[in-house]
Chain A
Amino acid sequence: MTDRPKARPRWHIAVFLAPALLVYTVIMLVPLMQTLLLALENVRDGERVFVGLDNFRMLFGDPRFSEGFWNALRNNVYFFVLHMLIQNPIGIALAALLSVPRLRGVAIYRTALFLPTILSFVIVGFLWKLLLSPLWGVAPNLLGAVGLKSLFAPWLGQEAYALTTVSLVSIWQFVGIPMMLIYAALITIPNEVIEAAECDGITGFKQFFKIKLPLILPTIGLVGVLTFVGNFNAFDLIYAMQGALAGPNFSTDILGTYLYRIFFGFQLQAGDRYMGAAVATAMFVIILLGVCFYLFVIQRRMRRYQM
């Protein structure tokens, strides 16, 4: 080997990075920065002026905004908790069942369970709205057929049940995602490890909890953070099922629908881009904090095992 020449400036790195950086800047960084800046401005006496954190003071303190905001945040947390408690455990359980060796018809189950995820939210929302309709839905009749008609209520129309109902529909739609991710993690566990467990007498549920679950924990963490981001950005299904007012009486209002009404306005409410930007910034910060908590607190404590 000859002596290396002195390190020259490696321009090619910058050249190759430039296109991606440019696209990312134009479609991600600039709009994000503009939104953040917009959140610090407002209109005073017909003039657009810098107001510092006034918009946030209003959002968190002025009842005209804060009532709706805290309500949406509360609902959103509930929405997220239901997904974590119902969607992800069901997803894990389905994945565990799918990975049972020599299960017949795996491909059919997998496709069927994943199908709702690829359906449009409009279809899912409208479908469930029809199914659950007290007037022409099949739900009352189906319950009636098994003698449980007394249990039926117009769930989507009652403040006490509407958010739970919408959450369950969302869970039904998206359960395929944790199922697929965890299924993919489960099938990477080497066969011989499972056979060693069989020889050691670790079978069935015990095998799942003592061998498989610890090995897929990193994936479960990932599913958790994806659920968090997805839930706090959710909007479409609620909009399709309950409209932008997220009724009844805002009981299904989450941050996405709240942002929509503030930013674009709805019916008698006028749109306010400055306050809308403040809501968007608040959502951005909430999600950022959540993701950071996962990255810096949870993921660091979690071991990834070489298999």
Chain B
Amino acid sequence: MHSLKLTRIVKTFGQVEVLKGVDLEVETGEFVVFVGPSGCGKSTLMRIIAGLETQTSGTVEIGGRNVDATVPARRGIAMVFQSYALYPHLTVAGNMTLALKEDGVPKAEREARVEKAAGLLQLSPLLKRRPAELSGGQRQRVAIGRAIVREPTLFLFDEPLSNLDAALRVATRLEIAKLHRTLGATMIYVTHDQIEAMTLADRIVVLNGGTVQQVGRPIDLYNRPDNLFVAGFIGSPKMNFLTKRFAEEAGAATLGVRPEHLKVDPAGAWAGTVRHAEHLGSDTYLYVVLEDGQEVTVRIPEETPIAVDDAVRLSPLPGRLHRFGADGLALRAA
């Protein structure tokens, strides 16, 4: 059964078309991440699913039910906001139970659900505190707890980690992944961070300019990007794009190769000069200017003595070249 089905979702703000016809189906229990640069429409799409925004045309079905005319509270969704959006005047427990009281859930049941969610998120000692007395990470967990107690068909996360510091972000990312396994719930997650997308998602939806660029498993997007945008967006450091001679030799308009798929090889076909080297310990990034002036990044998974201004020869790993046509779409070997 589909937990969510979007059909031809279009959203315009005045003259601006933010979403240009999005179709998507999400299976029950799936973790789907919407990823894309800012302004790509991913947040708008999530808000349309939540019912906080109305689509200009198209339909939204949640749990097999058309919810176009349904208010957010009756859609069977629960949303976790970027700013947490906790009710400042209520305690943690109050924040979590407000919606349940509204739904007429009996007191015993409410308490049981809060207890369960609090246990899951290590919130039990904090239940009597108010949001102002919590740290950012704790507030985020309360926001997630407030979503869990509602037992929704669909969880919506709107960039939930972007207000946390780097260390906490990694920890919370793991928590969310664990939560997804524990609850087995369907989750939709919006982020602009492709690492979050790669690490959390069962399936990634890459959006750009209001259209879906590609939908697929993280590893498929990495290995088989459909177009230049997806190729450049997924993976860090970014994929190298070469044109002119290199591309022509491969029979494409643009040739893509990931930095980790280039290796320094005295017998390599591509000659160049190191412009800059970044030593990260585990990796070294070399920025190499090739003979015809195009620049590529090379990722070496170890320390290297190669220094700036050294001449190097590079060779791409076989089978790891991506060919793109003049229209930016991937050319797949027939």
Which residues of A, 205-241, contact B by the 8 Å Cβ criterion? 206, 210-211, 214-215
Distance in Å: Cβ of A32 to nearest Cβ of chain B: 39
Contacts of B86 in A (CB 8 A): 193, 196
Which candidate, B68-76, B172-180, B297-305, is the interface stretch facing chain A? B68-76
Selected from B83, B89, B99, the residue in CB contact (under 8 A) with A200 is B99
B134 to chain A, nearest CB (A): 11
Within 8 A of A (CB), among B124-156: 130-132, 146, 150
By beta carbon, the residue of chain B nearest A191 is B85
CB contact between A190 and one of B72, B83, B132, B146 (< 8 Å): that residue:
B83
**What chain B residues lie within 8 Å of A210 (beta carbons)?**
98
Q: Are B103 and A201 in contact (CB under 8 A)?
A: yes
Interface SS majority for chain A: helix
- Say if the beta carbon of B118 comes within 8 Å of chain A: no
The stretch among A52-60, A259-267, A299-307 that forms the contact with chain B is A299-307
- Check A195–B103 contact: CB distance below 8 A: no
Q: Does B102 contact A (CB under 8 A)?
A: yes
Q: Are B88 and A215 in contact (CB under 8 A)?
A: yes
Interfacial chain A residues near B87, Cβ < 8 Å: 193, 196-197, 211
Cα distance A199–B103 when bound, in Å? 12
- A198/B99 contact (C-beta < 8 A), A192-B83, A203-B73, A305-B88 known: no
Known contacts A195-B52, A195-B81, A306-B132: A201-B99 contact under CB 8 Å: yes
Query: Chain B residue with minimal CB distance to A217?
Result: B89
Complex: how many Å from CA A190 to CA B89?
A: 13
Instruction: Say yes or no: B81 contacts A203, CB within 8 Å.
Output: no
Q: How large is the interface on B (under 10, 10 to 19, 20 to 34, 35 or more residues)?
A: 20 to 34
Residue in chain B with minimal CB distance to A305: B88
Partner of B82, one of A192, A199, A200, A206: A192
The smallest beta-carbon distance between B187 and chain A, in angstroms, is 15
In the complex, how many angstroms separate the beta carbon of B273 from the nearest chain A beta carbon?
47
Collect the chain B residues with CB atoms within 8 Å of residue A211's CB.
Answer: 87, 89
C-alpha gap A199/B51 in the complex (Å): 8
**Residue contact A198 to B71, C-beta cutoff 8 Å:** yes
Q: How many chain A residues have a CB neighbour from B under 8 Å?
A: 21
Assess whether B296 is interfacial by the CB under 8 Å rule.
no
Bound complex: CA A206 to CA B51 (Å): 19
Which residues of A have CB within 8 Å of B288? Answer: none
A215 to B89, CA, bound (A): 7
Of chain B, the residue at the smallest CB distance from A192 is: B85
B274 interface contact, C-beta 8 A: no
Bound form: Cα–Cα A54–B146 in Å: 66
Contact (Cβ within 8 A) B89 A199? no
The answer to the question of A202 belonging to the interface, with a C-beta cut-off of 8 Å to chain B, is yes
From residue B184, how far is it (CB to closest CB) to chain A in Å? 22
Instruction: A148 to B329: give the CA distance in the assembly, Å.
Output: 78
List A contacts of B146 (CB < 8 A).
196, 200
| Assembled-state Cα–Cα distance A147/B10 (Å) | 54
Provide the bound-state CA to CA distance between A199 and B143, in Å. Answer: 12
* A199/B88 contact (C-beta < 8 A), A210-B98, A306-B131 known: no
Q: Which residues of B have CB within 8 Å of A202? A: 73, 98-99, 102
Q: B132 touches which one: A192, A197, A200, A305 (CB < 8 A)?
A: A305
A279 to chain B, nearest CB (A): 43
Q: How far is the CB of A128 from chain B (nearest CB, A)?
A: 40
B262 contacts A by Cβ under 8 Å: no
Chain B hits for A192, CB < 8 A: 81-85
Chain A nearest CB from B85 CB (Å) reads 4
- Nearest CB in chain A: distance from B94 CB, A: 10
| A199 close to B132 (CB less than 8 A) | no
Chain A residue with Cβ nearest B143 = A196
In the assembly, what is the distance between CA of A211 and CA of B82, in Å? 19
Choice from B74, B84, B89, B130 contacting A201 with Cβ under 8 Å: B74
Which residue on chain B has the smallest CB distance to residue A306?
B132
Chain B residues near A306 (CB-CB < 8 A): 88, 131-132
Within 8 A of A (CB), among B18-77: 50-52, 71-74, 77
The answer to whether A305 and B89 touch (CB under 8 A), given A198-B71, A200-B102, A210-B98, is: yes
- A60 and B103 CA atoms in complex are apart in Å by 59
Q: Is the CB of A200 within 8 A of B98?
A: yes
Residues on B facing A (Cβ under 8 Å): 50-52, 71-74, 77-79, 81-89, 98-99, 102-103, 130-132, 146, 150
Interface residues in chain A, defined as those with a beta carbon under 8 Å from any beta carbon in chain B: 190, 192-193, 195-203, 206, 210-211, 214-215, 303, 305-307
A and B contact pairs by CB, cutoff 8 A, 8 listed: A192-B83, A192-B84, A193-B86, A199-B50, A200-B102, A200-B150, A202-B73, A307-B88
Q: Which 8 A-B pairs have the closest CB atoms?
A: A201-B73, A200-B99, A305-B88, A192-B85, A196-B85, A214-B89, A306-B132, A192-B81
* New contact pairs (12) apart from A201-B102, A303-B89, CB-CB < 8 Å: A193-B85, A195-B81, A196-B87, A198-B52, A199-B73, A200-B150, A201-B71, A201-B73, A201-B74, A201-B99, A211-B87, A215-B89
